[in-house]
C-alpha cells in the first residue's frame, strides 16, 4: 500500500496561500477552527536532539563498570582553522575512530556522546564527551594527528550531562546553516539494551504504545509505519495549509496496547531480555 494514498497523508488547503500575509493570531484561530496546529520545526528538531543526546549521556553514566572507581568524563572541543568549505563529513568519524583504536590498545571500550554546534562566525565545530577509566589521561587530539583540521581542546567535565546539554540551545542550533549532509550528534559504546531504548525514544507515541524496544518498526516512504508483522500503520495526522502556513491536523487516533512512559519490553520477551542483559 502506498503511503501517499492512505487517509491522513493528503494535503488539504484551507485558505488562499497567494493572498497577503495573515497575522499570527489569525493563523492560530484558523488552526483551532479546523483542529490543527502549526509545528515549530526547529523547536521540534531540537527537542528530539536533546532527548536522544540526553538519554545517551545518562545511559553511559549508569552503565559504569562495577568494582572500580567511576570513569572520568572529558570534554573535547574540535574546531576548524578555516570555514565550512574545509569541512568533510568523515572528519568527525575519522577522529573518533582513531580515539576508539587508542582506547582498544589501552584495554577498554570507548564510550562517548558528541554534538555539532555553530560558532558565532558560522563555522561548524564539535563537542565530544568521552568517559575514560580513572587514571587514564585524554591525549591531545591535534598533537596526535587525530584532528589535523584545526585546534582540539580537552578538559575534565565534572558535570558531564549538563555540560553537554548546554550546547543544545535554540540560540546555538540552526540546522539551516550547517554544511549540507552534516550529522549533528552521535554516540558510541552503549550496551545493546540501552541502544535499543534510545532508538525507541525516537518513535511516535502511537508506535511506542505498541512496540517494545525489541520490535522492529520501519518508516514507510511517504508517511506512516510498517509494523514487525508487515502491517501498514498510517500517520495519525495529515498536512493542511492554513493561511499559507503548513499545519498538522489529527485525522484519527490509533489504539495502543499500553500507555508507555519509557522504553520497555514485553514480559513474553524474556528470552530476548536474557540475551541482552544476561539474566
Q: State how far the Cα of 238 lies from the Cα of 166, in Å rounded to an integer.
A: 34
Q: State how far the Cα of 129 lies from the Cα of 44, in Å rounded to an integer.
A: 24
Which cell goes with 271?
528470552
The pLDDT tens digits for 150-206 are 999 999 988 777 877 777 765 555 545 788 888 888 999 988 888 899 999 989 998
pLDDT in tens, the chain (279 residues): 344 434 333 344 444 444 456 777 677 777 787 778 887 777 777 888 888 888 888 888 777 767 778 889 999 999 999 999 999 999 999 999 999 999 999 999 999 999 998 888 889 999 999 999 989 999 999 999 999 999 999 999 887 778 777 777 655 555 457 888 888 889 999 888 888 999 999 899 989 999 999 999 999 988 899 999 899 999 988 888 887 788 888 888 898 888 888 888 887 655 555 555 554
Residue ranges and CATH numbers for the domains of the chain are 3-40+198-277 (no CATH), 64-189 (3.30.70)
Q: State how far the Cα of 87 lies from the Cα of 90, in Å rounded to an integer.
A: 9
On whether the CB atoms of residues 156 and 71 are closer than 8 A, the answer is: no
What is the β-pairing status of strands 72-78 and 124-132? Answer: antiparallel
Q: State how far the Cα of 257 lies from the Cα of 259, in Å rounded to an integer.
A: 7
- Alpha helices (runs of H) in the chain, residue ranges in sequence order: 24-33, 41-62, 91-106, 141-144, 160-165, 192-201, 205-208, 270-277
Amino acid at each position: 500500500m502506498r503511503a501517499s494514498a492512505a487517509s491522513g497523508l493528503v494535503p488539504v488547503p484551507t485558505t488562499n496561500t497567494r493572498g497577503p500575509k495573515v497575522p499570527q493570531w489569525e493563523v492560530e484561530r484558523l488552526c483551532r477552527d479546523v483542529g490543527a496546529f502549526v509545528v515549530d520545526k526547529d523547536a521540534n528538531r531540537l527537542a528530539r536532539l536533546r532527548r536522544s543526546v540526553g538519554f545517551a549521556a545518562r545511559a553511559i553514566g549508569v552503565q559504569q563498570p562495577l568494582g572500580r572507581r567511576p570513569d572520568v568524563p572529558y570534554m573535547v572541543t574540535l574546531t576548524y582553522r578555516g570555514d565550512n568549505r574545509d569541512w568533510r563529513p568523515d572528519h568527525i568519524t575519522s577522529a573518533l575512530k582513531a580515539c576508539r583504536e587508542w582506547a582498544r590498545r589501552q584495554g577498554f571500550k570507548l564510550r562517548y556522546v558528541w554534538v555539532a554546534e555553530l560558532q558565532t562566525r558560522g563555522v561548524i565545530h564539535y563537542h565530544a564527551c568521552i568517559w575514560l577509566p580513572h587514571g587514564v589521561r585524554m591525549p591531545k587530539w591535534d598533537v596526535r594527528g587525530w584532528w589535523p583540521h584545526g585546534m582540539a581542546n580537552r578538559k575534565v567535565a565534572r558535570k558531564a550531562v549538563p555540560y553537554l546539554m548546554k550546547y543544545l540551545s535554540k540560540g546555538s542550533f540552526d540546522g539551516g546553516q550547517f554544511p549540507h549532509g552534516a550529522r549533528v550528534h552521535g554516540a558510541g559504546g552503549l550496551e545493546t539494551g540501552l541502544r535499543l531504548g534510545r532508538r525507541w525514544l525516537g518513535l511516535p507515541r502511537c508506535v511506542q504504545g505498541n512496540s517494545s524496544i525489541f520490535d522492529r518498526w520501519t518508516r514507510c516512504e511517504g508517511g506512516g509505519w510498517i509494523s514487525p508483522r508487515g502491517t501498514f500503520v498510517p500517520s495519525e495526522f495529515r498536512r493542511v495549509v492554513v493561511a499559507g502556513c503548513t499545519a498538522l491536523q489529527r485525522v484519527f487516533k490509533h489504539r495502543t496496547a499500553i500507555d508507555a512512559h519509557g522504553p520497555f519490553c514485553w514480559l513474553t520477551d524474556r528470552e530476548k531480555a536474557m540475551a541482552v542483559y544476561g539474566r
